[in-house]
Amino acid sequence: MKKYANVDAFLASTTRWHDESAQLRATLLACGLGEAIKWGKPCYTHDGANIAILQPMKNFLSLMFFKGALLEGPAGVLQEQGANSRSARRVCFTSVAQVAELDSTVRDLVRKAIAVERAGSKVPGPPALVLVEELRKRLAEDPALEAAFERLTPGRQREYNLYISGAKQAKTRTARVEQHVDRILAGKGFRDR
């Protein structure tokens, strides 16, 4: 991944969604937000709190609000990033005309996001993790594995559970548990190397 010293360098290097990004940047800066490159992308902040980040995707440009779940916008504008996202919501753009059309909506969402930060509002924590049966049984059979699983961060536990539960057949779920026993015992997450 390229490292960018500032947003100007990031925008200068982009060809996809360049004009849309530049127009959104102008709107976000006009709202009084600061900017920096974080996670390799233009991130917009207020009083040190992350408010939104530009995410160029293949088919659209996303303006992702970090605490978007706490924001209310016009129906259909704020979208979940995926079935398992809890806090972030995004506005997707596919043209400069669409950026212009949603300018006042973006400004309103930024005002609301700043208010959420000022109020110290927090996105509710995740619901209690309900382990898929095959994982639950395997952990109950092996106290060392259970202890290692409990030492994993909640996000790592959730990733394993999502991956294992994603299989349609019980034998595949069981095989997925067995496939990752050594990694869990080593304290590694699903994506760790």
Where are the CATH 3.90.1150 domain residues in the chain? 7-119
The whole-angstrom separation of Cα 148 and Cα 151 is 5
Q: Which two tokens stand for residue 176?
A: 């997925």
pLDDT (tens digit per residue) in 56-115 = 999 999 999 999 999 988 888 999 887 667 789 999 999 999 999 999 999 999 999 999
The whole-angstrom separation of Cα 124 and Cα 149 is 24
Task: Say what the pTM is.
Answer: 0.73
Instruction: Mention the CATH class of domain 7-119.
Output: alpha beta
- Do residues 50 and 61 lie in contact, with contact meaning Cβ atoms separated by under 8 Å? no
Element holding 185 (H helix, E strand): helix 181-185
pLDDT (tens digit per residue) in 139-159 = 999 999 999 999 999 889 999
pLDDT (tens digit per residue) in 4-57 = 678 988 998 988 999 999 999 999 999 999 999 999 999 999 999 999 999 999
The whole-angstrom separation of Cα 81 and Cα 173 is 26
The whole-angstrom separation of Cα 68 and Cα 71 is 5
Alpha-carbon distances, residue 113 vs 47, 75, 118 (angstroms) = 12, 17, 9
